[in-house]
Amino acid sequence: MSREVLEELRKAIMTYDCEGAEKWAREAVQRKVDPLKALDAMTVAIRQIGDGFGKGELWLPDLVGAAAAMTAATPIIEEELKRVGATRESLGTVVIGTVFGDIHTIGKTMVATLLTAGGFAVNDLGINVTAESFVEGITAHNADILAMSALMTTTAPEQRKVIETLKREGLRDQVKIMVGGGAITQEFADSIGANGYDPTAPGAVRLARRLMGK
Ligand code: B12
């Protein structure tokens, strides 16, 4: 039962079928399929499209099509995840965003959703966020954790820039910093002085708990 739904979701992403993706996401919620498994199935599919693009076998419209299908389905699954997490007491305040120059939103939003479902108060600054806006966000929300996403090798250095800006402003020690996104590795995270890195969204929640000593 659940396998059929996951397979249909995967197929909808692979065939850029927005209506199908939306329909099967609703079906997943209705049939009580584990929402994390649903997100996982779609992530595997969109990464496959990305790999094809990377190898020159697929083109930008393929990326756009797969992203549109994923964007049609994810809010439905994320709503369900948030519903589950809505009643928990806050474990801490997170400011999250995708760094300047980078408009990839899917993974960042997934992390934000799972953090919310996991009991954190999350302020999502969106995409293409400058170092200055991160600083403003941290100050305005009195954040415990800053979470930054970067999907491209060209935008990963922005994470370093944000950390350097925080140091200059005397704010570095007030906030724990976690980084992620397809372009980030543990080695890179260590080299820029982040407090933690994880390659997955569920791992990001475990990391955030650890950083808060919970
Ligand atoms: C979908 C997509 C797009 C969509 C984005 C739509 C949207 N609304 O987000 C569109 C079509 C717009 C797009 C545009 C571009 N893209 Co693009 N895109 C992708 C693709 C296929 C999937 C990205 C994605 O959503 N993955 C699924 C999510 C769930 O994964 P994720 O983001 O990595 O997040 C997971 C983890 O990393 C982690 N995580 C994420 N953030 C954080 C944060 C923290 C703190 C933590 C702990 C964890 C964490 O949790 C998530 C869940 O497990 C990737 C391929 C890939 N392999 O990733 C290429 C890819 C990222 N894109 C690429 C490129 C080159 C581009 C363009 C430059 C193309 C162009 N010529 O215009 C533009 C860039 C525009 C810009 N300025 O940003 C390249 C980057 C290459 C590189 N190494 O630099 C990739 C890798 C494709 C490739 N193989 O070449 N893209």
CA of 62 to the centre of ligand 1 (A): 13
pLDDT at 86: 56
What mean pLDDT comes out for the span 181-204?
Answer: 97
* Residue 114 CB–ligand 1 contact under 6 Å: no
**What confidence tier does 88 reach under pLDDT thresholds 50, 70, 90?**
low
CA-CA distance, 115 to 94, in Å (whole number)? 8
pLDDT(87) > 60: no
CA of 87 to the centre of ligand 1 (A): 32
What mean pLDDT comes out for the span 34-42?
Answer: 90
CA of 103 to the centre of ligand 1 (A): 8
Atom of ligand 1 nearest to the CA of 179: 45
Give the count of beta carbons closer than 10 Å to the beta carbon of residue 184: 22
Burial group, residue 206, by CB count within 10 angstroms (0-12, 13-18, 19+):
middle
Give the count of beta carbons closer than 10 Å to the beta carbon of residue 146: 28
- Greater confidence (2 vs 184) lies with 184
- The answer to whether residues 183 and 150 touch, using CB atoms and an 8 Å cutoff, is yes
CATH 3.40.50.280 is right for the domain spanning 93-211: yes
pLDDT at 126: 97
What mean pLDDT comes out for the span 154-181?
Answer: 97
How do residues 135-145 score in pLDDT, each as one tens digit?
999 999 999 99
CA of 63 to the centre of ligand 1 (A): 9
What is the assigned CATH class of domain 2-85?
mainly alpha
CA of 104 to the centre of ligand 1 (A): 5
What mean pLDDT comes out for the span 105-112?
Answer: 93
Give the whole-number percent of the chain exceeding pLDDT 90.
81
Probe target for ligand 1 pocket from 123, 151, 153, 212, with the most ligand atoms within 8 Å of CB: 151
Probe target for ligand 1 pocket from 104, 128, 158, 192, with the most ligand atoms within 8 Å of CB: 104
Question: Residue 177 is encoded by which pair of tokens?
Answer: 């910093």
Domain boundaries along the sequence of the chain: 2-85, 93-211
pLDDT at 76: 94
pLDDT at 84: 72
Atom 8 (ligand 1): residue with closest C-alpha? Answer: 105
Predicted TM-score (pTM) of the model is 0.91
How do residues 55-69 score in pLDDT, each as one tens digit?
999 999 998 999 899
pLDDT(117) > 90: no
